[in-house]
Amino acid sequence: MRKFGLLLFTGLFMAFSAQAKLQFAAPIDVDITAEDAVQAKEQAMRQAQRQAFLEIAGKLTDDENVAKLNELTDDEIVHFVQSVGVNDEKIGGNKYVASLTVQLDEALMRDYLAENGMIEVETTELLVIPVFKPQNNYTPLLWESDNVWRQNWNAKGLIKFGTMQMRTIGERFRQIDRLNAETALYMDSGIFDAISNLNSSDKIYVVYAQTMPNGDLKITVKDEKNKNEDSFTILDDASGNIFDKAIEKSVMFISNMERRATYTANPTTAGTINAVYMYSDMKDWLTKNNTLTNLPMVEAIDTKSFGGGKVNFSIRYTGALDDLWQAMQEMGLSHEAADNYYIIR
């Protein structure tokens, strides 16, 4: 499988884990014996996550591809897992017996399968406009022959990344009046509309590369449709083609930005998070439970267990996870990510 696809996991996992939908959840029963209960539970979680991953993958692709997916390591599979809900468990001695619900991230899973040719999906076409500034005292370049940044993008041809396809702006776009490096960097509605009409798509990204005095390459990625931008730097460490590294990372940034824009425009996703709340007394928890339940994005609070000054529970919500965190912050609550749950304080 292509390593390029695996690079997607870490950058996207936190940004899009909230998008997993209920049909991407699988009930899994485990009964594991090990040297002690702690090891038994760890093995059970790994087994449950793998089993759920393969079961759900089997609904999307054929048996041959499922066998290939089974070659992924436990550490790779865990990136697809949004949450593990504990419906019932018994821990004792050297055994762990439980009924679990493993929920996977639909977007990540579909993208990975598409990236590796395991499913057919509808692709999103994006246009990339590479603008290059070779030195501080140089004028930015677009169509000029010494725009090596655009030359490197052109050499890649059509770049496929998950459900997205990225094309580099071609010679036919020269017919657009006033389209040059400066107007690309500071794009007005007229230029944007002209490019969109000729491209038959308004998904346009300007990728501006600037060579720093120390040789590093600063990249600014601009989503012209939604007027968002992000940036990063590729260090000049003399290992490989710095432009290849910059393109690979630019593709990931574009992908992240496009997904965030889509998610923001369509915040109808549903999700479940597991959480632990440290309470001072039972009244404290009952008050917080009632307040959380009354939040508009919260569908239900499911309490799992009490003990030791903490309560284990899950929150079923709709909309954006960031909106839930913002609402909780306004209540005076903070959150901290743990393995497969959040610590609420």
Report mean pLDDT in 10-residue bins for the chain, 345 residues: 36 35 77 92 93 92 94 88 85 91 82 82 88 92 96 94 88 94 96 95 96 94 93 88 93 83 62 82 80 81 78 82 79 75 82
Residue 210 is encoded by which pair of tokens?
């600037």
Residues 6+ apart with CB under 8 A from 274: 83, 84, 85, 86, 304, 312, 313, 314, 340, 341, 342
Q: What's the confidence (pLDDT) of residue 114?
A: 80
Domains and CATH numbers, the chain: 3-115 (3.30.1660), 124-265 (3.40.50), 270-344 (3.30.70)
- Cα dist from 129 to 149, 177, 222, 233, whole Å: 10, 16, 10, 18
Q: Which helix (H) or strand (E) holds 276?
A: strand 270-278
Residues 6+ apart with CB under 8 A from 106: 19, 20, 21, 23, 24
Strands, DSSP E only, in 34-157? 81-92, 95-104, 124-133
- 3-class state of residue 100 by DSSP: strand
β-partners of residue 316 are 272, 300
Q: DSSP label at 141? A: B
Rounded Cα gap, residues 203 and 205, in angstroms: 7
- Cα dist from 196 to 122, 188, 256, whole Å: 20, 12, 21
Residues 6+ apart with CB under 8 A from 3: none
Q: In degrees to the nearest 10, what's the CA dihedral of 207, 210, 216, 221?
A: -20
Q: DSSP label at 266? A: -
Q: Which residues of 134-158 are buried (b: 16+ CB within 10 A; e: fewer)?
A: beeeeebbbeeeebbbbebbeebee
Cβ–Cβ under 8 Å, residues 173 and 195: yes
Q: Cα-flanking dihedrals φ and ψ of residue 266, to 5°? A: -130, 70
Residues 6+ apart with CB under 8 A from 294: none
**Which strands form 270-278's sheet, in the order they lie side by side?**
298-307, 310-318, 270-278, 342-344, 335-337
Rounded Cα gap, residues 190 and 177, in angstroms: 10
